[in-house]
Amino acid sequence: MAKLYFRYGTVGSSKTLNLLAVAHNYRQQGKKIILMKPDIDTRFGKEKIRSRAGLEQEADVLIHAGMSLLSLDFQGISCILVDEAQFLSARTIDELRSITTDWNIPIICYGLRTDFKSFLFDGSRRLMELADSIEEVKVTCNYCNRKAIMNLKHVNGIAVNEGPSVELGAEEKYLPSCFPCYCIELQKAKSLRKQKVSCLEPV
């Protein structure tokens, strides 16, 4: 039986580069794959799946709100790769789970686990609940040599943890951070604003 995989990591952990490498390997073997991404991810162009290293490919399927994946034809497909899976709805993750069983096709989803406020995205939460395999794509903290587990948002070089959870951006807005450095950077920002609150409270 085919499996549903969730490969998660912080910003800057080369998740998309990993996805594109897997896609290349399948295609080198002459196997058909489908590349999917949520249509709200327009950072590098709506149809583009692009890594920060500059490699890119066209998405075959753009997943939008209200769309059903169950109506698509997956005949002859060897693997489905999904980028930015955290932005998908729980219902879409349920459909991906169904496709692995109904079509016997492995599906590998890549995405963030949590937002910059430390809360699970809906798509990531459902993947944590349903995936057969959950793997971490690791990267070191931007500020030290510990493993990054947080996505630290910053504006004009100052850390913040307020605003909408879904706010597109790359290195100009988000940095990978371990939890101690996450707290330190937010405390620095709070000191600038003369506030003394928990590092998990809004700055």
Convert the pLDDT of each residue in 120-174 to its tens digit: 999 999 999 999 999 999 999 999 999 999 999 988 888 888 776 667 555 568 8
Number of domains forming the structure of the chain: 2
Query: Tokens 């809906």 label which residue?
Result: 122
* Beta-sheet strands, E only, within the chain: 4-8, 32-38, 48-50, 56-58, 61-63, 77-82, 107-111, 133-136, 150-155, 158-160, 174-177
Residue 36 lies in a domain: yes
Check if the beta carbon of residue 132 is closer than 8 Å to that of residue 97. Answer: no
Residue 145 lies in a domain: no
Residue 158 sits in the same domain as residue 129: no
pLDDT band at 51 (very low <50, low <70, confident <90, very high): confident
Residue 61 sits in the same domain as residue 119: yes
Residue 141 lies in a domain: no
84 is catalytic: yes
Tokens of 161: 């943890």
Residue 142 lies in a domain: no
| Residue-range definition of the domain harbouring residue 160 | 150-192
Residue 105 lies in a domain: yes
pLDDT band at 191 (very low <50, low <70, confident <90, very high): confident
Residue 114 sits in the same domain as residue 166: no
Of 59-68, 89-98, 192-201, which gets the smallest average pLDDT? 192-201
Residue 201 lies in a domain: no
Rounded to whole angstroms, how far apart are CA atoms 63 and 167? 18
Q: Average pLDDT, stretch 62-82? A: 94
Q: Is the pLDDT of residue 35 over 70?
A: yes
Residue 161 sits in the same domain as residue 79: no
Catalytic residue among 84, 129, 135, 167: 84
155 forms beta bridges with 158
* Residue 105: φ, ψ to 5°: -115, 125
What's this model's pTM, rounded to 2 decimal places? 0.87
Tokens of 90: 């729980």
Tell me which of 21 and 45 has the higher pLDDT.
21
SS3 133: strand
Residue 180 lies in a domain: yes
Q: Average pLDDT, stretch 170-180? A: 84
Residue 125 sits in the same domain as residue 164: no
Residue 102 lies in a domain: yes
Tell me which of 164 and 90 has the higher pLDDT.
90
Q: Is the pLDDT of residue 200 over 70?
A: no
- pLDDT for the residue 181: 96
Check if the beta carbon of residue 9 is closer than 8 Å to that of residue 140. Answer: no
SS3 155: strand
Count the helices and strands in the chain (H runs, E runs).
Answer: 4, 11
